[in-house]
Amino acid sequence: MNAEGQRLSHLLDFSGWDEAGVRRIFETADAMAEVLKRPIKKVPTLQGRTVATVFFEPSTRTRTSFELAARRLSADVVSFSPGTSSLKKGESYKDTLLTLAAYGVDLFVIRADAAGVPAQATRWVRASVVNAGDGRRAHPTQALLDAYTLEQVIGPLRGKKIAIVGDILHSRVARSDAELFSLLGAEVWLSGPASLLPKTPFFGARMTPNLKEALSEADAVIALRIQKERMEGGLLPSEEEYRASYQINEATLALAKPTAPLLHPGPMNRDLEVDGRLADGPRSLVLRQVESGLAIRMAVLYHCLVGGGKA
């Protein structure tokens, strides 16, 4: 999304974006947040448009917030669930999307277990496509809401140190966060057990299994879910070992700056990645992330369906 202010036709990742494009999303999210404070939390902006949420993988926060965001903007919503669909009969992702497109869908929000499905969808359908998470590759709206939440608390990210801790290897959130935070000028550190770190860091982030090094003087800390379902081949040390070495708790968070907030994209394995008392404490922004997600996703839908040409 470049500085000319062209319309965002699709949101797949942040390739080709600049900071000005991110700022426009944030400015629109500010306006949407004001709408959400009204007694009647609805505007007619997308009246007559249809948004389809197509989640080939389970989701709570992302799916709910996209559907609520669309409804807050007065769009019609088609909600697709694979468990009760013709996917069970062998239908392909492509034919599923083509079928839904024939009903006049204007925008698809797609989550898939395989990387690249949302990008492929842009070649199958004429509608706008928003990536709601594809494999390990990207989750751009989570990164937008993380950055938006952080900037409300610690100010612009330029020059700030952001530590991301946990299952980096399998995390599309870590990839999108690192991509976006770096674009906004932050210094991004990735940390976790060596077995859960990729072979090479991504998007200019620094990477270390040394938690103390990653957290030292950090301006913010993001804990990631340990994706137990992907721990083939003994990648995860025992939960007890992880908890002892990498859990974010009062002692480890004390390595960061005293004002550093704690974030987690959810779902959380409470008392594994994060001490539950800390997750509920005053430095936790977990529920604020959820709130920000609604405003950010309203802004993304607006920019995809209302604004100029291609990103």
Under 8 Å between Cβ of 75 and 98: no
Please name the residues in contact with 176: beta carbons below 8 A apart, sequence gap of 6 or more: 13, 14, 138, 139, 140, 142, 143
- Which pLDDT score, from 0 to 100, does residue 203 have? 87
- Which pLDDT score, from 0 to 100, does residue 81 have? 77
224 with 193, same domain: the answer is yes
- Which pLDDT score, from 0 to 100, does residue 229 have? 64
58 with 131, same domain: the answer is yes
- Which pLDDT score, from 0 to 100, does residue 227 have? 81
171-175, 264-268, 299-303, range with the lowest pLDDT = 264-268
Under 8 Å between Cβ of 148 and 26: yes
Buried b (16+ CB within 10 A) or exposed e, 16-48: ebebebbebbbebbeebbebeeeeeeebebbee
Higher pLDDT, 168 or 234: 168
236 with 180, same domain: the answer is yes
- Sheet containing strand 128-134, strands side by side: 76-80, 50-55, 107-112, 128-134
Q: Which residues pair with 164 in a beta bridge?
A: 190, 222
Q: In CATH, what number is assigned to the domain containing residue 25?
A: 3.40.50.1370
Residue 8 lies in a domain: no
* pLDDT tens-digit readout, 182-216: 999 999 999 999 999 999 888 889 999 999 999 99
The model's pTM is 0.93
279 with 300, same domain: the answer is no
- Integer CA distances (angstroms), 13 to 134, 183, 303, in order: 10, 12, 15
* Averaged pLDDT of the chain: 91
34 with 125, same domain: the answer is yes
- Which pLDDT score, from 0 to 100, does residue 307 have? 72
How many structural domains are present in the chain?
2
* pLDDT tens-digit readout, 49-106: 999 999 988 888 999 999 999 999 999 999 987 765 566 556 788 999 999 999 999 9
Residue 78 lies in a domain: yes
User: What is the rounded distance in angstroms from the CA atom of residue 117 to the CA atom of residue 205?
Assistant: 26
203 with 164, same domain: the answer is yes
Q: How many CB atoms lie within 10 A of CB 2?
A: 12
Residue 32, domain extent: 19-139+291-305
83 with 204, same domain: the answer is no
